[in-house]
Structure 1
């Protein structure tokens, strides 16, 4: 009888050990599965961030492509600037410090004026402040045009009223989508140079 009891205990212990072993295997497989899922999710997150970045860049260039022909039109119709040179997404290196460069969203050069455009798909105060800070330095990048009047235009598909007021206070034209085409929203509020 005692031997049968021992045999039962031994069998129970073996079953318990087998159950523990199976449980450990399950835990190990679960950990591996979680690790693989985590790695897959991280990869998917990186891919999604990349796609969002590409979409944001595409949106930015799309807005620039809408703005560009309108810069030509307003330069001529509103400011009387006859185009000599026009470029979109033009990168200019500083003439004396090649490590400094400026990316002009749209730049129209006339005989006596430069229409300097900054285009953003979304308007932010910091974007406007950066543009304000750049305007006085434009001739550092374009010294061959020193002395020409600068007509600064900040463009987006939509510019909220508070930003139009801020641009106006800083003598920068605000260009956004109107009913049919892009319009200068504060043309009458800024004296012509």
Structure 2
């Protein structure tokens, strides 16, 4: 019985890990198109993109993993992907965005843009994310799509 419980717990852990990476695996291929739609990044002009990249804060030394980070022109896009997006995730992510240049000092001259995504995003969270200046992503016609209103412009952090 103990072996069975150990095996079940292991499987739950694997499933939980896969849910986290599944969302990122859906977002990453959409980043170039999202940059084009939101800030006019030309096709094939993403200079650098990384998925699940670990970076160290230049002052505190704290290490953190970022789901997706991409650079295009004057912009550094940082994406946080959640298997389930909660209201408190939005302001927490905005706080992180104010420190992104400390994790990526080589891009300190770039304008930081935040995008947050999930497989399902309630419309109230889309509105709240938009008020905070975040690009909000959810499942759509092209893997992930921008859920913000057409007149939305992302905030620079």
Deviation at 1:56, TM superposition (A): 1.1
Is residue 85 of structure 1 aligned with residue 45 of structure 2?
Answer: no
Give the structure-1-normalised TM-score: 0.71
Normalized per residue, the structure richer in helix is 1
CA RMSD for the aligned pairs? 1.9
Q: Is residue 163 of structure 1 aligned with residue 125 of structure 2? A: yes
> Where is the strand percentage greater, Structure 1 or Structure 2?
2
The answer to whether the Cα contact below 8 Å between 2:56 and 2:64 also exists between their aligned partners in 1 is yes
Partner of 1:122: 84
- Map residues 44-193 of structure 1 onto 2, 5 A cutoff: 44-81=4-41, 82-98=45-61, 100-192=62-154
Alpha-carbon offset, residue 124 of structure 1:
1.6
Q: Who wins on radius of gyration, i.e. which is larger?
A: 1
Paired residues, what number?
152
TM superposition score normalised by structure 2: 0.86
Long gaps (5+) in structure 1: 1-39
Instruction: List gaps (5 residues or longer) in structure 2.
Output: none
Contact 1:153 1:172 (8 Å CA) reproduced = yes
Q: Which runs of 4+ in 1 moved over 4 A?
A: none
